[in-house]
Amino acid sequence: MPFPQVVAVVASSPAEMAGLAPGDEIRSLNGVVPRDIIEYRLLSDEPELSLEVMRGGLLREIELTKDAGAPLGVEISSALFDRVRTCDNHCEFCFIYQLPKGMRRSLYVKDDDYRLSFLYGNFTTLTRFTELDLERVITERLSPLYVSIHATDPDLRSRMLRNDRGATSLRWLDALLAAGITVHGQVVVCPGLNDGWNLADTLGGILERFSALDSVGVVPLGLSRFSGEAAMREHTQTEAAAVIDIVEGYRQVFLETIGHPMVYLSDEYFLLAGRDFPSIEAYGEFVQHENGVGMSRLFEENFLGRSLSTEASRGGFFQSVDGAPALGYRAPTFGADHAPVNFFSRRSDLPVSILTGHYGALVLTPLLARTGLADVEIIEVENRFFGGNISVAGLICGADLVAELEGRDRARRYLLPDVCLSEGRFLDGLSLADLPVNVEVVEATGQALAAALHLPNNRAELVGSSQ
């Protein structure tokens, strides 16, 4: 098992005062070899610490004293020190199977690890969950977790996961909920497989067996041109509308039965069906925001400068874990080695173009018109790299931007949402330096776009006067 390696030490922290340094390999804390960042955090919370450290091939012991619960003050190299528990399902709709060859290795890792569910909000099917895992989750209160349900009928779920354990693994969900663990669910809907009556049956099964779930997101499958599954296809407009009708009906049933609507639809369904998004109140605390649920409505409200009673939730707990690294799971937009080399100044005298995907264009076009910004150009970047029905801004690749921007006027501001980038790179490995024009990267929030467009703070009033 690899050991956690120190990559940075916080100045004036207990770790620095005790002599820990980048490159040190932590072999144990108080005689215990930690398996992951979770156990490391629990051990390092102790006020008296004895660390075994390997430095330069020599094993040494470092003693330190600090306040109980105070951060140790180091960043370490990985979230998991033992092996990532990989997924042994073979779902037809799995997007990892739909990736082309030649991308960075981390994109092909198919995990089904409850620890990554807790730390980063990754969804797990529980097919590799064990009694020992259950004991640890309950004992250490690893909550919330995120579980892929897809179907509550055992045969259908087993078929969708292409794994016999899929028929029985939801028993762990029963146990987690019974122990008071907060769990968010997900149903990926595949046309002709688990939609229609089967979707209604799944929602009924959730009401009957898993009504203690905190939320359930219903999302459409993503289908790239590299999918080799003949049975997988995109939703039609009629099918998308049918999914909306089924879910909306069950939201009312859940509201009347357990006091809250439970089930939330992905924004894509309303865009596919050509229907308006629900009101801002319908999304509650936006607990499924990272699953594409309520993103558009929240973006709109924040863009218009309206005050909200809540902010969008972020899946996982990793931000509160001292030293938890994001690389490989939640890598930042820019890293130390990938600075935004052609970040453009926000000059207000230049015409503006916004780069986005098909869905982003559907949301932004009417929104900009309502705020009197119809002269702002929206460039809808076709996703030729992935193809299929991949239309979200977060999957825009560098090669598609190059094709779209080649020959365009350089005397413009080109705004690009930051969700396209990870460690300064697009999914296809290109960087901002490879683009033919200067591009300004903007945080993918309504407030950030409004600021980039130099909108006044009273922009909500402007909307009223323009309607």
Q: Could you tell me the CATH number of the domain that includes residue 32?
A: 2.30.42.10
Same domain membership, residue 371 and residue 299: no
Same domain membership, residue 446 and residue 356: yes
> Which residue matches tokens 């049918």?
242
Q: How many distinct structural domains can be found in the chain?
A: 3
Q: How far apart are CA 3 and CA 1, in angstroms?
A: 6
Q: How far apart are CA 156 and CA 295, in angstroms?
A: 30
Any domain includes 312: yes
Longest dimension (CA), the chain: 72
Any domain includes 335: no
Q: Identity (one letter) of the amino acid at 407?
A: G
Same domain membership, residue 156 and residue 293: yes
Q: Give the pLDDT score at 463.
A: 61
Averages of pLDDT over each 10 residues, the chain, 467 residues: 86 92 94 92 92 94 92 88 90 92 82 91 94 96 96 98 96 98 97 97 98 97 93 96 98 96 97 96 91 93 75 48 45 49 58 95 94 91 95 94 95 93 88 94 92 78 52
Same domain membership, residue 249 and residue 108: yes
DSSP tag of 210: -
Any domain includes 334: no
Same domain membership, residue 403 and residue 293: no
Same domain membership, residue 183 and residue 120: yes
Q: Where are the alpha helices (DSSP H) in 227-313?
A: 237-258, 267-273, 295-303
Q: Token pair of 379, please?
A: 């460039």
Q: Give the pLDDT score at 77.
A: 84
Strands (E), 310-454: 352-356, 377-380, 413-417, 440-442
Contact 69, 42 (CB under 8 A): no
Q: How far apart are CA 276 and CA 294, in angstroms?
A: 12
What CATH number does residue 191 fall under?
A: 3.20.20
Q: Give the pLDDT score at 336.
A: 45
Any domain includes 342: no
Assign 86 to helix, strand or coil: strand
Residue that is last in its domain, among 302, 320, 338: 320
Contact 109, 86 (CB under 8 A): yes
Same domain membership, residue 356 and residue 289: no
State pTM to two decimals.
0.89
Domain that holds residue 140: 95-320
Q: Token pair of 276, please?
A: 């308006």
Q: Give the pLDDT score at 314.
A: 55
CA 387 to chain centre: 21
Same domain membership, residue 380 and residue 269: no
Q: How far apart are CA 250 and CA 396, in angstroms?
A: 34
Any domain includes 343: no
Same domain membership, residue 127 and residue 222: yes
Which is nearest to 172 in space by CA: 217, 219, 112?
112
Please list the residues that pair with 188 across neighbouring strands. 219
Per-residue burial over 145-161, b = 16 or more CB atoms within 10 Å of its CB, e = otherwise: bbbbbbbbbeebbbbbb
Any domain includes 287: yes
Which is nearest to 271 in space by CA: 365, 194, 404?
365
Same domain membership, residue 135 and residue 236: yes
Rg, C-alpha atoms of the chain? 24
Residue that is last in its domain, among 18, 49, 76: 76
Any domain includes 316: yes
Same domain membership, residue 172 and residue 44: no
Any domain includes 330: no
Contact 455, 312 (CB under 8 A): no
Which is nearest to 296 in space by CA: 384, 392, 387?
392
Same domain membership, residue 356 and residue 298: no
Q: Give the pLDDT score at 108.
A: 83
